[in-house]
Structure 1
Amino acid sequence: MLNYIMEILPSLLSGAGMTLQIFFWTIILSIPLGVILGLGLTSKFKPLTALIKFYVWLMRGTPLLLQLIFVFYGLPVIGIVFDRYDAALFAFVLNYTAYFAEIFRGGLQSILKGQYESAKVLRLTYWQTLRKIVIPQVFKIVIPSVGNEVINLIKDSSLVYVIGIGDLLRAGNVATARDVTLIPLVLVGVIYLLLTAVVTYILGKVEARYSTWR
C-alpha cells in the first residue's frame, strides 16, 4: 500500500498545486473587490447601491457550480470565451466578491457615526477617514466571517473538476477510476483536511493579533 501511495502522491500534489492557485488568486482578487463593493452598498447613491445589491443577490442566490458551468460553457454562445483556468478563476472571483461585499457592508455599518463626525473635526477627508479610522476597525470586526469564507473556498475549489481542470479532486478521481480503489480519495480527503488545518491556524493567529487591539 505504501508503494502505491508514493506512486500516486505526485499527481495528487500536482492537483493540490492547482487547487492552491485557484484559492490564492481568488483571495487576492475578491477581498479588495469585496471592500470596494461593500463601500458601494453603504453609498447614498441609490442607483449604484441597487446595482450592487442585484449583483450580490444573483451571485449568492445561485450555486457556484452553476456559475462555473455558465462561464465556461454559456458565455461562448455570446462570443466570450475563456480557457478552463481563467473561466474557473473568473467564476470564483465573481462569487466570492459578492460574499465578501456583504461581509464588509455589515462591518462598515457597525462603525458608529460619531467616528465619522470626529474625523471631520480633525479635518480628515472622507478617504483619509476610511483608510486611517474605518477600514482598520472593519477588518478586525469581519475577520471571523472572512475566515469562514476562506475555509469554504478551500473546499469549493474542488468544483473546478466539472470543467476539466486537473485539480486535487480530479487527480483523485482519475486514480480511483484507473486503479479501482478508494485509497486516492482517502488521500484527497487527508490533503484537504491538512490544507484546512493550516489555513485555520493562520486565521487564528491573525484573529489573535487583532484581538490585542480591543
Structure 2
Amino acid sequence: MDIYDVLIRDFPFLLKGLGVAIALLFCLLVIGLFLGLAICLIQLYGPRSRFVQWPLIVYERIFRGIPIIIMLFIFFYGLSGVYDISAFAAAVLAMGLRSAAYQSQIFRSAFQSVPEGQMLAARAMGMSSSKAIAYIVLPQAIRHAIGPWTNEFSSQIKETSLAYVIGVVELTRQAHYIITSTQGNVLIVFAVVALLYFILNRAGNSALYAFERKLSVPGFEK
C-alpha cells in the first residue's frame, strides 16, 4: 500500500493523538496557571517567613532545573511503585508542576511591573490588601502576563510530544505506530505531524494575541 494511502487511512488516528495532546496541554496549563499564580501571590504578598518562602524557592528551582524527560520518568515509574498512576496522569502532574514553576515567574514579573503606588493608593482609599490585589493590581498584571504566557503556551505544546516516552498515546506515538506498520516513510509521516503541531501552535497564538488586543487599553503598555 502506498504511503499516501496509509496516511489517508490512518489520519483519524493522528487526529486522535492530536486530541490527546490537546487534552494534556489543557490540563497541564490549568495546573500551571492556578498553582503558578498562587505561588506568585504568596511570594509577593504572603508571609516573609523563611518557612513559607524557602519551600517555594526550592520547588521552583527543582522543577525549572531538571529536564522534563527525567521528571516524566520520576512521576511515572517512581510513583507507579507506590500508586497505580496512569501514564497520562503522570504526564499531567510532571508537566503541570513544571509549568507552574515557570508561570509563577511570569506572573511575578507581571505583578512587579504594576507601579507600587497603585497598591498604596488603593490602601489609602480604604481597600483591603486582598481587594486591592483583586481589583487593582491583578487586572493590570494579567495584561502584562499574556505576552510571556503565549511563549509558555507554545513551549508546552512542543513538550507534550515528550509524553510518548512513558507510553502516552499522543500524536508522536501515533506517528511511530504508522511508521512501524509501513516499515519506513519517517520523513513524510513526521512532516505531517510537524504540520499538525504548527497549525495548533499558530491557532493558539492567534487566539491569545486576539485576547491580548481585546484587553489592551490605549496607552497602558507605555
Aligned-partner Cα distance in 2 for 1:101–1:68: 21
What corresponds to 1:41 in structure 2? Answer: 43
What corresponds to 1:19 in structure 2? Answer: 21
CA contact (8 A) 2:63 2:98 kept: yes
Amino acid at match of 1:115: Q
Amino acid at match of 1:14: K
Say what the alpha-carbon RMSD is for the aligned residues.
1.4
Counterpart selection for 1:145 from 129, 136, 148: 148
Aligned-partner Cα distance in 2 for 1:169–1:204: 27
CA shift for structure 1 position 2:
4.3
Gaps of 5+ in 2: none
Matches within 5 A, 1:1-214: 2-42=4-44, 43=46, 44-77=48-81, 79-179=82-182, 180-182=184-186, 183-213=188-218, 214=220
Choose 38-47 or 182-191, whichever is displaced more.
38-47
SS of structure 2 residue aligned to 1:82: coil
Aligned-partner Cα distance in 2 for 1:99–1:87: 19
TM-score (norm 1): 0.94
Amino acid at match of 1:187: V
Q: State percent identity of aligned pairs.
A: 26
Aligned-partner Cα distance in 2 for 1:9–1:117: 57
Amino acid at match of 1:18: V
Gaps of 5+ in 1: none
CA contact (8 A) 1:33 1:97 kept: yes
CA contact (8 A) 1:8 1:184 kept: no
Residue deviations 1:47-98 (CA, integer Å, cap 9, x gap): 2111101100000001111101100012334x24411111111111110000
Amino acid at match of 1:178: S
Residue deviations 1:147-184 (CA, integer Å, cap 9, x gap): 10001111000011001111000000111122111222
CA contact (8 A) 1:72 1:81 kept: no
CA shift for structure 1 position 120:
1.1
Amino acid at match of 1:69: F
CA contact (8 A) 1:176 1:185 kept: no
Runs of 4+ in 1 over 4 A off after TM superposition: none
CA shift for structure 1 position 203:
1.3
Aligned-partner Cα distance in 2 for 1:136–1:81: 41
TM-score (norm 2): 0.91
CA shift for structure 1 position 199:
0.7
CA shift for structure 1 position 212:
2.9
Aligned-partner Cα distance in 2 for 1:40–1:71: 26
